[in-house]
């Protein structure tokens, strides 16, 4: 066995100590009728051959394209030091800090993560990570119901369709109600959440609303009327949940500033590779009055018996191992190593580096918008955006496919992800970040023009 | 309050000095943000620390050295399977083709990863004896929720809407009852039999037309194979309910017991336990769920589909209306699953069988050493699987030293403590899981340390009650932490440099 330490003599010695002849006797407690058929799997593969196989498989993925794909997962520069820290075995081969005296590294890193996220979101309570942005949003939806004692959640149709789907799974599971808030159809606010429709939904006295969920920026890259939606939610006695993109918080108003009670979001952009969907980092933050409703682990600063500063998991009476069926969630351990990645990345870039990342993305996006406008490709929505926007392209799916062969990943075919939103049929969602180059943008415009010609 | 000592670190915020650091990425053009409406702009920059590269690296390297980890020593944490985390797996997950692939990349450019995921599903189907697998769940608890939601969907699709109860043994992990609640169901807790196993009569008495499912951990959280599980599954099916297996302890049964063959309808698998993906200080894990024929239609979307021409694709939105829907943003924790795939390929059929044999052999050997010492209670003396329970009940009676104290004293011996006070059904419990990757010398040394601590309890209980003595910090004021929670650092205003524009 590849990583086992036992020599044949070691095994004999252990079996002898047990008065046994063979390992089979260790499994005599499995009733014969339940014993398994043999495993039908390939033989063991030596490390050298395994590495060849994996390198070949990885090589079948194409990651060399000029990519304008965002839609919830973003490419960013990550200083080499980040991964070098993550590769320290003391971090990645430890487990949940059940014995705090020999886990102060992990505990302090989580406390620092909570502090960094509190700074970014403007909310004081940060749970030490969830599975990803969608799962964090779903937990936020459940939180609003627990906190208000109401059963109905409203989610904007401008929230990422995958997040809406996951909220649907969780809310249905818990036997609660979920309704969509539609989008403004046309005019200067087209594509943003329809506040008049929100008013109508909130006015339904027979179905009081627990929570209202909007995303900033929205799935379509647009800036949403967060403050207005939040005050409407509060006026109706509901809580307001902001789904946020953490890099954008360097330059956009934080949820705490516009009155959000809960912020949820995807932390992948903070130095975590895209790796086809995970592991990612679910950000979940809330105001202090909601601290006993937030699921997931919380780490606090305390002292040891000598008065030395120390860190410990705290307020565990919310959690499944104490509360069992009455717990705030079934979440157990979660994404500590990803929270560490985000913290190291943020510490490496600092406040000005983070601002540069966000501002660069916005700057490249304006450059892209201009380059596309020059070949007659227009944005779908007129409103303000940060670094992602939808463009109208005839036969979007076919054009997208053709561009792939020309080395351009032309964002997302929106219809594939949102088949039930006619206003974005024949549209692509495109995104830029600080790693997008002018050459990428020129190639996109050139190839798109050629394909459409 | 001070942060002193050779390795204890001030916070990142205290290390910060305005004007330090930067130059990792080019400055953005001036005016890049001018087109954003003022009402959407942030008024003050976030108070993030300003540090240079040596500051950051030393901070995190010094902090890391405050951790006990599998890479630094024995970690016999029961129910967690803290086995060796192979280094080639870290290399594999970082291959640019895997690491940089966007989750919404078109299928055409994702064939390598899609093939890996599909092959991993096939391997897990074979290991579990089930018919289909979803790799979507991000953790064991997430897998539980996925499984129970599928069970609910199955009953509802049959118009069988009165099933509200999930039967769970009282020894179960807390995630089982918490999962039932999240899935809108009610937990009925069933006491274990005197031998630590399933109390068949109690289950039979509780089973009814309102039973949606029974959740069984096998081997149990006591490290015992549930020998009556066949009869239980029969009884569960007889009332129209489904049988869920919590696969947390799969390391004990690879190649010896396939839950699907035994009649279980669904199980989750913790790749971070059985298949060596690193625990990461508390995540990320992955919790694939394997199901039999009854539940396959309800698997989360999207699934990986293999086409007739051998190519792979993800299901399209709405392609399989019976699905319970999405459980997470994207298709899975692929970075974790690449590691699990590498581990399964490394071992193959014979290696996996050997893992289980060695893990169970090590646990029984260690248990025999402690039983022979005569100082620890061994509540279930028969053969165990990959882990076992020892108890300090007698030691506590004689000396006042508790399991918690013994756990803390083990830290002074350079060992991580076992899982303590779990399962909740055994007094002064220590759940000890050595795994297959610890040598006989380590097992001997650990047993000797436990015996020595028991001896010390008789002669010098105070030293144990105040342990640990050699760790970076001593026992913590946990009550104070909960009474006056300090959950974030508050940088003083003016700690950072204002934005240049």
Please write the tens of the pLDDT for every residue from B93-140: 999 999 999 999 999 999 999 999 999 999 999 999 999 999 999 999
Does the distance separating the beta carbons of A366 and B345 come in below 8 Å?
no
From chain B, the residues in CB contact with A62 under 8 A are: 105, 108-109
Task: Check B50 against A172: CB less than 8 A apart.
Answer: no
Binary contact (A300, B331; C-beta < 8 A) = no
Distance from CA of B314 to the nearest CA of A (A): 12
Domains of chain A as residue ranges with CATH = 66-77+351-452 (3.90.1150.10), 81-345 (3.40.640.10)
- B chain contacts of residue A402, beta-carbon cutoff 8 Å: none
Whole-number Cα distances in Å, A9 to A12, A22, A235, B381, B440: 5, 13, 74, 25, 10
Residues B401-434, buried b or exposed e (16+ Cβ, 10 A)? bbbbbbbbbbbbbebbbbbbbbbebbebbbbbbb
Q: pLDDT value at position A320?
A: 81
Least confident of A21-35, A295-309, A312-326, B154-168: A312-326
Contacts of B350-354 spanning 24+ positions with Cβ under 8 A:
B350/A43, B350/A44, B351/A1, B351/A2, B351/A44, B352/A39, B352/A41, B352/B127, B352/B254, B352/B255, B353/A39, B353/B254, B353/B255, B353/B256, B354/A1, B354/A4, B354/B436
pLDDT in tens, A210-236: 999 999 999 999 999 999 999 999 999
**Residue to test with chain B: of A23, A346, A351, A409, most B Cβ within 10 A:** A351
**B290 in contact with A, Cβ within 8 Å:** no
| Contact call for A104 and B63, based on CB within 8 A | yes
- Window 363-382 of B, Cβ < 8 Å to A: 364-365, 368-369, 382
Residue numbers of B between 331 and 360 with CB closer than 8 Å to A: 331-336, 338, 342, 344-355, 357-358, 360
Task: Enumerate the residues of chain B whose CB falls inside 8 A of the CB of residue A299.
Answer: 487
The secondary structure of residue B43, as a DSSP letter, is S
Q: How many CB atoms lie within 10 A of CB A319?
A: 23
The highest-level CATH class for domain B88-345 is alpha beta
CB A229 within 8 A of CB A184: no
Note whether A124 contacts B: Cβ–Cβ < 8 A: yes
pLDDT of residue B4: 42
- 8 Å CB contact of A61 and B113: yes
Query: Could you tell me if A360 and A368 are in contact, meaning their C-beta atoms sit under 8 angstroms apart?
Result: no
A409/B109 CB distance under 8 A: yes
Answer whether residue A281 shows pLDDT above 50: yes
Which residue in B108, B317, B335 is closest to A419 by CB distance? Answer: B317
The Cα–Cα gap between B431 and B419 comes to: 5
Element (H, E) at A215: strand A209-216
Q: What's the confidence (pLDDT) of residue B382?
A: 94
Report percent pLDDT > 90 for chain B.
Answer: 93
Alpha-carbon distance A428 to A389, whole Å?
Answer: 8
ipTM of the complex: 0.98
Q: CB-based contact (8 Å) between A378 and chain B? A: no
Least Cα separation, residue A350 to chain B (angstroms): 5
What confidence score (pLDDT) does residue B99 get? Answer: 98
Helix (H) or strand (E) holding B456: helix B440-459
pLDDT band at B302 (very low <50, low <70, confident <90, very high): very high
Q: For chain A, say whether B190 makes contact (Cβ under 8 Å).
A: no
From the number of C-beta atoms within 10 Å of its C-beta (0-12, 13-18, 19+), residue A388 rates as buried
Comparing A331-335, B174-178, B443-447, the range with the smallest average pLDDT is A331-335
pLDDT score for A316: 87
B282 to chain A, any CB pair closer than 8 A? The answer is yes
The whole-number pLDDT of residue B493 equals 55
Backbone angles phi, psi at A292, to 5 degrees: -80, -5
Tell me: pLDDT of B500 over 80: no
Please indicate whether, in this complex, the C-beta atoms of A333 and B282 are within 8 angstroms of each other.
yes
Q: Which of A4, A34, A279 sits opposite B335 (nearest CB)?
A: A279
By Cβ distance, the residue of A77, A170, A303 closest to B477 is: A303
Q: Which is more confidently placed, B496 or B355?
A: B355
Whether B5 has a pLDDT exceeding 90, the answer reads no
Q: Is the pLDDT of residue A289 over 80?
A: yes
CA distance A290 to chain B (A): 13
**Touching A: B residues 198-217, CB under 8 Å:** none
Q: Which of residues 333-352 of A touch B (CB under 8 A)?
A: 333-338, 340, 343-344, 346-352
* Structure tokens given for A375: 């070949």
Q: Determine the Cα–Cα distance for residues A254 and A120; give it in Å rounded to an integer.
A: 7
Give CA–CA dist A301/A20, Å, rounded: 51
Q: Residues of B with CB below 8 A from A353's CB?
A: 21-22, 24-25
Locate the chain B residue with the closest alpha carbon to A159. B329
With a pLDDT cut of 70, the percent of chain B lying above it is 97
pLDDT for the residue A229: 98
DSSP state of A256: G
Q: List all residues of chain B from 304 to 323 with a beta carbon under 8 Å from chain A.
A: 316-318
**Window B:214-253, CB contacts with A under 8 Å:** 224-225, 227, 229-230, 253
pLDDT above 70 as % of chain A? 100
Domain ranges, ordered by start, for chain B: 12-64, 88-345, 350-483
Please judge whether B436 and A306 are an interchain contact, meaning their C-beta atoms are less than 8 angstroms apart: no
Alpha-carbon distance of A371 to A351, in angstroms, equals 30
User: In terms of CA atoms, which chain A residue is nearest residue B36?
Assistant: A384
Q: In this predicted structure, what is the pLDDT of residue A333?
A: 73
| B183, B255, B488: residue with CB nearest A39 | B255
Into which CATH architecture does domain B350-483 fall? Alpha-Beta Complex (3.90)
Best probe of the A interface among B36, B46, B381, B442, by most A CBs < 10 A, is B46
Q: What is the mean pLDDT of residues A343-361?
A: 97
Buried b / exposed e over A139-167, threshold 16 CB at 10 Å, is bbbbbbbbbbebbbbbbbbbbbbbbbbbb
| B88, B347, B472 member nearest A104 (Cβ) | B472
Query: Cα–Cα distance between A400 and B52 in angstroms, integer?
Result: 42
CA distance B284 to A210: 31
pLDDT-derived band at B6, boundaries 50, 70, 90: low
Residue of A347, A354, A369 to mutate for B, most B C-beta atoms under 10 A: A347
Give every strand in the sheet of A388-392, ordered side by side: A388-392, A427-431, A412-413
Residue contact A132–B330, C-beta within 8 A: yes
The tokens describing B376, both together, are 């620890």
Which among B465, B487, B493, B497 is the top mutation candidate for probing chain A, defined by the most A β-carbons within 10 Å of its own β-carbon? B487
pLDDT for B492 equals 66
Task: Give the closest of B85, B352, B471 to A93, CB-based.
Answer: B85
Q: What is the pLDDT of residues B154-170, one digit of tens each?
A: 999 999 999 999 999 99
Over residues A70-88, the mean pLDDT reads: 98
Q: Inter-chain contact B67–A90, Cβ cutoff 8 Å?
A: yes
Nearest to A363 by CA among B499, B498, B34: B34
Confidence of residue B1 (pLDDT cuts 50, 70, 90): very low
Interval B58-81 mean pLDDT: 97
Which residues 307-336 of A have a C-beta within 8 angstroms of B? Answer: 307-310, 312, 314-316, 319-327, 329-336
A 179-208 near B (Cβ less than 8 A): none
């Amino acid at each position: 066995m590849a990583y086992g330490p036992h020599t044949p003599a070691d095994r004999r010695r252990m079996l002898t100590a047990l008065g046994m002849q063979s390992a089979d006797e260790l499994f005599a407690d499995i009733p014969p009728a339940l014993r398994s058929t043999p495993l039908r799997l390939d033989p063991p593969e030596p490390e050298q051959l395994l590495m060849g196989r994996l390198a070949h498989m990885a090589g079948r993925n194409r990651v060399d394209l000029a990519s304008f794909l965002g839609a919830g997962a973003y490419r960013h520069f990550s200083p080499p030091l980040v991964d070098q820290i993550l590769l320290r075995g003391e971090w990645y081969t430890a487990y949940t800090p059940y014995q705090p005296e020999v886990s102060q590294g992990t505990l302090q890193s989580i406390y620092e993560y909570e502090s960094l996220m509190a700074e970014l979101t403007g909310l004081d309570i940060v749970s030490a990570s969830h599975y990803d942005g969608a799962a964090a949003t779903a937990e936020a939806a459940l939180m609003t119901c627990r906190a208000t004692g109401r059963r109905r959640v409203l989610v904007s149709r401008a929230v990422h369709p995958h997040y809406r789907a996951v909220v649907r799974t969780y809310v249905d599971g818990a036997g609660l109600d979920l309704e969509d808030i539609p989008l403004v159809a046309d005019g200067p606010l087209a594509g943003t959440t329809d506040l008049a429709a929100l008013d109508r939904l909130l006015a339904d006295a027979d179905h009081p609303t627990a929570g209202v969920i909007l995303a900033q920026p929205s799935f379509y890259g647009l800036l949403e009327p967060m403050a207005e939606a939040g005050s409407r939610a509060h006026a109706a006695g509901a809580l307001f949940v902001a789904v946020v993109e953490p890099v954008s918080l360097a330059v956009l108003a934080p949820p705490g500033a516009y009155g959000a009670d809960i912020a949820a979001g995807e932390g992948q952009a903070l130095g975590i590779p895209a790796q086809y969907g995970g592991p990612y980092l679910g950000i979940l933050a809330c105001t202090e009055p909601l601290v006993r409703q937030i699921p997931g682990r919380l780490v606090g600063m305390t002292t040891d018996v000598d008065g030395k500063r120390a860190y410990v998991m705290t307020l565990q009476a919310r959690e499944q191992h104490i509360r069992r069926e009455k717990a705030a969630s079934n979440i157990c351990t979660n994404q500590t190593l990803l929270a560490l990645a985000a913290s190291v990345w943020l510490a490496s870039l600092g406040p000005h580096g983070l601002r540069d990342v966000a501002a660069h993305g916005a700057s490249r996006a304006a450059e892209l918008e201009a380059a596309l406008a020059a070949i007659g490709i227009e944005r779908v929505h007129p409103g303000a955006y940060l670094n992602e926007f939808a463009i109208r392209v005839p036969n979007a799916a076919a054009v997208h496919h053709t561009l792939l062969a020309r080395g351009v990943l032309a964002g997302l075919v929106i219809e594939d992800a949102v088949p039930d939103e006619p206003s974005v049929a024949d549209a692509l969602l495109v995104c830029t970040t600080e790693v997008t180059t002018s050459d990428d943008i020129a190639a996109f415009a050139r190839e798109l023009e050629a394909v459409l010609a | 309050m001070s942060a002193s000592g050779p390795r204890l670190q001030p916070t990142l915020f205290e290390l910060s000095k305005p004007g330090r650091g930067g130059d990792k990425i080019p400055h953005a053009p001036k005016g890049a943000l001018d087109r954003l409406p003022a009402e959407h702009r942030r008024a003050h920059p976030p108070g993030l620390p300003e540090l240079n590269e040596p500051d950051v690296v030393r901070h995190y390297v010094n902090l890391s050295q405050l951790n006990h980890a599998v890479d630094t020593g024995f970690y016999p944490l029961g129910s967690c399977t803290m086995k060796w985390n192979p280094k080639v797996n870290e290399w594999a997950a970082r291959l640019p083709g895997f690491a940089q692939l966007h989750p919404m990349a078109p299928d055409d450019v994702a064939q390598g990863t899609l093939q890996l995921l599909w092959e991993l599903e096939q391997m897990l189907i074979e290991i579990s004896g089930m018919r289909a697998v979803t790799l979507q769940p991000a953790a064991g608890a997430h897998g539980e929720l996925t499984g129970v939601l599928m069970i609910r969907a199955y009953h509802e699709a049959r118009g069988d809407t009165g099933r509200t109860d999930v039967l769970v043994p009282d020894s179960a992990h807390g995630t089982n009852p918490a999962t039932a609640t999240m899935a809108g169901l009610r937990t009925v807790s069933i006491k274990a039999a005197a031998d630590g196993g399933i109390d068949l009569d109690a289950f039979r008495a509780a089973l009814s037309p309102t039973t949606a499912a029974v959740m069984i951990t096998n081997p149990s959280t006591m490290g015992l194979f549930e020998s009556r599980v066949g009869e239980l599954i029969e009884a569960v099916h007889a009332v129209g309910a489904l049988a869920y297996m919590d696969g947390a302890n799969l390391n004990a049964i690879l190649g010896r017991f396939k839950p699907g063959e035994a009649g279980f309808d669904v199980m989750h698998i913790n790749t971070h336990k059985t298949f060596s993906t690193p625990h990461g200080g508390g995540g990320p894990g992955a919790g694939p769920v394997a199901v039999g024929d009854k539940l396959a239609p309800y698997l989360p979307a999207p699934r990986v589909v293999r086409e007739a021409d051998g190519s792979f694709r993800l299901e399209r939105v709405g392609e399989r209306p019976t699905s319970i829907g999405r459980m997470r943003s994207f298709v899975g924790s692929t970075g974790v699953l690449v590691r699990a795939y590498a581990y399964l390929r490394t071992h193959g059929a014979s290696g996996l069988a050997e893992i289980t044999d060695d893990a169970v052999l090590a646990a029984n050997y260690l248990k025999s050493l402690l039983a022979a010492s005569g100082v620890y209670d061994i509540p279930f003396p028969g053969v165990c699987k990959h882990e076992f329970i020892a108890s300090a009940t007698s030691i506590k009676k004689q000396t006042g030293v508790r399991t918690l104290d013994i756990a803390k004293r083990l830290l002074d011996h350079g060992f991580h403590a076992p899982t303590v006070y779990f399962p909740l059904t055994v007094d002064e419990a220590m759940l000890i899981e050595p795994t297959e990757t610890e040598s006989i010398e380590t097992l001997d040394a650990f047993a000797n340390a436990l015996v020595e601590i028991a001896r010390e309890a008789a002669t010098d209980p105070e030293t144990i009650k105040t342990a640990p003595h050699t760790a970076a910090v001593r026992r913590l004021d946990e009550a104070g932490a909960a009474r006056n929670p300090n959950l974030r650092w508050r940088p003083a205003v003016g700690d950072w440099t204002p934005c240049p524009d």
